[in-house]
Amino acid sequence: MSSGSKKQKHFLITAGGTREYIDPVRFISNASSGKMGYALAQAAIEAGHKVTLISASDLQPPIGTEFVGVDSAEEMFTAVKKYFCKCDCLIMAAAVSDYTPVKTSKVKIKKSKSKLKITLKPTADILAWAGKHKKKNQIVAGFALEDKNLRQNAEKKLEEKNLDMIIANAPETIGANEAAVEIKQRLQKWVKIQEKDKNLIAAEIINLTESLLLK
């Protein structure tokens, strides 16, 4: 479907793995590359939509996106809250850290022979917040990275966080150019997409999201 034959929507997409700083030079993070989130942003633009990309990745943003760079889970949450009310669809592709240090040292922690203890606290659940605060005409989609019981755990996330769609994948997809995913919309059967380039998967996800926006 060409961009001229459908109404432009505003997609809010998150990408990359957040960084939770221990001191000015060290942080806790994860292996997320941000490739899927960026592929989704590109696919949405090519489909004729407006895109705001909130990213903790160092990748080059697709041309045409409104780019918002962040580092930490807290910064990502602040940005999502700022732009969420303006979007038609939020796709949370970012790998947001589940925990962050209770205290961050203002100076570099010097190495010593003593053990270093870092106390962590849970970060805010951005996806659950969005599911709770979405309006009737808004769509919220999330990702579930699962190393076991993929469908069961992903479907639980779909229901508990009041999402419209969940995209489930395995750890092998992290950093890869290709991926296999399983997608479930609320009250619909699972759809399995065999391993293929993330750009092609992203186009299919945007297409499915568009169908939800038309309902």
Which active-site residues does the annotation give? 30
Alpha helices in 7-122 (DSSP H): 35-46, 73-84
How many Å apart are CA 23 and CA 25, to the nearest integer? 6
How many Å apart are CA 180 and CA 158, to the nearest integer? 19
- Environment class of residue 121 by beta-carbon count within 10 Å: exposed (0-12), middle (13-18) or buried (19+)? exposed
Give the Cα-Cα-Cα angle 141, 124, 134 (nearest 5 degrees).
Answer: 40
As a whole number of Å, the CA-based R_g of the chain is 18
**Contact criterion met (CB below 8 Å) for 95 and 16:** yes
**Contact criterion met (CB below 8 Å) for 66 and 79:** no
Give the Cα-Cα-Cα angle 208, 214, 215 (nearest 5 degrees).
Answer: 100
How many Å apart are CA 94 and CA 97, to the nearest integer? 9
**Contact criterion met (CB below 8 Å) for 87 and 68:** no
Backbone angles phi, psi at 89, to 5 degrees: -145, 130
Backbone angles phi, psi at 38, to 5 degrees: -70, -35
